[in-house]
Structure 1
Amino acid sequence: MTTSTSRVALITGGSRGLGRNAALHLARDGVDIVLTYRSRGDEAQSAVREVEALGQRAVALQLDVGQSGSFAEFAARLKQVLQTVWGRGQIDILINNAGMGGYASFAETTEAEFDDLMAVHFKGPFFLTQALLPLIADGGRILNVSSGLARFALPGHAAYAAMKGAVEVLTRYLARELGPRRIAVNAIAPGAIETDFGGGAVRDNKALNDYVASLTAQGRAGLPDDIGAAVAALLRPDNGWMTGQRVEVSGGMLL
């Protein structure tokens, strides 16, 4: 197979929500996509078809980011897919996006809930990135997905937000340690977005949607395209000098 000249991005949790939207925005910029999904293979294949309709190559791979013991095997599968589909052995972009919502007051958060959030939102990105380091091209990019909740505090999100705060610290350390390879590492922090995340509460609960709008400078809740467009802008080839930064994309929530 002829080696592909397109950049290749791996997006965890790319079969739905913000990950899927980011995949489509990147595809419009000429980026090929490897997306992961945990259980919904049908959603993943639908996302692959959407990327392909935009003229880019796409592959879906199953991965549970909460199961760090599977990462070595996943890296081997990814390497094989890269060789088979793209005629190359490395990706250009890694987006650590996979996650799930968690809502409980600090007083009522259980150890099991805490451990689940830790496994997916912090331990997962930490050790998946570590496992994939040989497969990320020098001069490549890593984008970690944080949350506006790491800056402002809304009751009920203590554990989730703490994990995202840890991701932001990790982002700076990765930027420093991977700097010699010219790998730029940043974090994007969405505000409240109308997706199915957290059971679709911001999207489907009008009272909550109105509340979010009232806290936001631009007067509305965010939309998936608001984040996907920002992801694509941050990852454009001419933007590699920015590294170690947290970029909030929240429409000015709780300024």
Structure 2
Amino acid sequence: MTSLDSNTLPTPSDGATAPVVLITGGSRGLGRSMALALAAQGSDVVFTYRSQQAQAQEVVQQIEALGRRALAIELELGQGQGMTARFAAFADTVREALAQRWQVAQIDALVNNAGIGVHASVADTTEEQFDLLFNLHLKGVFFLTQALLPLLRDGGRILNLSSGLTRFALPGYAAYASMKGGIEVLTRYLAKELGPRGIAVNTLAPGAIETDFGGGAVRDNPELNRFVASQTALGRVGLPEDIGQVVAALLSPASGWVNAQRIEASGGMFI
């Protein structure tokens, strides 16, 4: 087991087993980009998907083509009822997979990425929408992390996904951004409580990215795309690969001293 004062992921060049990273929502969008970037960096990847098994298996094949090992596991994160029991069963599945496929007992990093977007004003947000966002983006992250803590090695990493919308406000995202604000607070508490185990915990807040998030509005609406680009210092909208590379950098050995921070990757939106 890695010593408590060494919060760096082991790499194959060290002669150690390749690090194993668990990503929620890794079959598409930002999660897929993260998985591929981490694999290119030398990590093996376990990731969850909600329903698109064929899409998930394509990502597994892409990771294997990079010379790394991968496993996709189905997991429903947004359903509030029976959440802790479901996550306990998922942790058991991960534990068994680690033992059988990797001959290890723990993962090296957890990336809480899975999420959806709901666009509705405060006046129009329904209780059902609010509960879905809460279960997926805050309650789910809290209790899934809790369930996986015994499987995270001392000296490992946790990276929680937030949003640029916690810094700047755009009408229609009050409920979503409120959950992400909670994630940023949770990150600091996790960093404090897990510090004695040498586990670094950070928040990554992407800006507007060309994915299918929120119905693909940023990607598919030319007017919105141009507006976002005009409000971004680097003059364009973000791509999934931009975020994947940041995740790989934050989980690299070189970033081991970064802890309890909110890192925004937005190209300089609304500055």
Give me the TM-score of the superposition, normalised by structure 1.
0.98
Aligned to 1:181: 197
1:241, distance to aligned residue in structure 2 (A): 1.0
The 2-side partners of 1:95 and 1:125 are apart by: 10
**Who is 2:9 aligned against?**
none
CA distance in 2, matches of 1:60, 1:224: 20
Cα drift, residue 237 of structure 1: 1.6
Aligned to 1:211: 227
**Deviations for 1:66-92, whole angstroms, at most 9, x for unmatched residues?**
232310000000000000100011000
Q: What do residues 182-231 of structure 1 show as CA deviations (whole Å, max 9, x unaligned)?
A: 00000000000001111111111001101111111111110111111111
Alignment partners' CA distance in 2, 1:199 and 1:233: 28
Amino acid at match of 1:154: L
Aligned residue in 1 for 2:68: 56
Counterpart CA distance in 2 for 1:237 and 1:138 is 14
Separation of aligned partners in 2, 1:25 and 1:80: 25
* 1:172 partner amino acid: R
Question: For 2:268 and 2:123, how far apart are their aligned partners in 1?
Answer: 29
1:88 match = 104
Q: 2:148 aligns with which of 127, 132, 141?
A: 132
State the SS of the aligned residue for 2:189: helix
Q: Which has the higher contact order (CA 8 A, sep 6+)?
A: 2
1:17-166 equivalent positions in 2, closer than 5 A: 17-67=29-79, 68-69=83-84, 70-166=86-182
State the 1:239 CA deviation. 1.4
* 2:123 counterpart SS class: helix
Identity of aligned residues (%): 64
Letter of the structure 2 residue corresponding to residue 37 of structure 1: Y
In structure 1, distance between residues paired with 2:261 and 2:123 = 32
- Offset from partner CA, 1:146-201 (integer Å, 9 cap, x none): 00001100000000000000000000000000000000000000000001111111
- Give the residue type in structure 1 aligned to 2:230: S
Q: Which residue of 1 aligns with 2:12?
A: none
In the alignment, which residue of structure 2 is the partner of 1:233? 249
The alignment's C-alpha RMSD in Å is 0.8
Q: Which runs of 5+ in 2 are unaligned?
A: 1-15
**Structure 2 match to 1:250:** 266
1: CA distance, partners of 2:119 / 2:87:
28
**Alignment-derived partner of residue 195 in structure 1:** 211
Tell me the SS of whatever aligns to 1:153.
coil
Equivalent residue of 2:36, what SS?
helix
SS of structure 1 residue aligned to 2:18: coil
User: Does 1:168 pair with 2:184?
Assistant: yes
- How far has the Cα of 1:238 moved from its partner? 2.6
| Residue ranges of structure 1 left out of the alignment (5+ in a row) | none
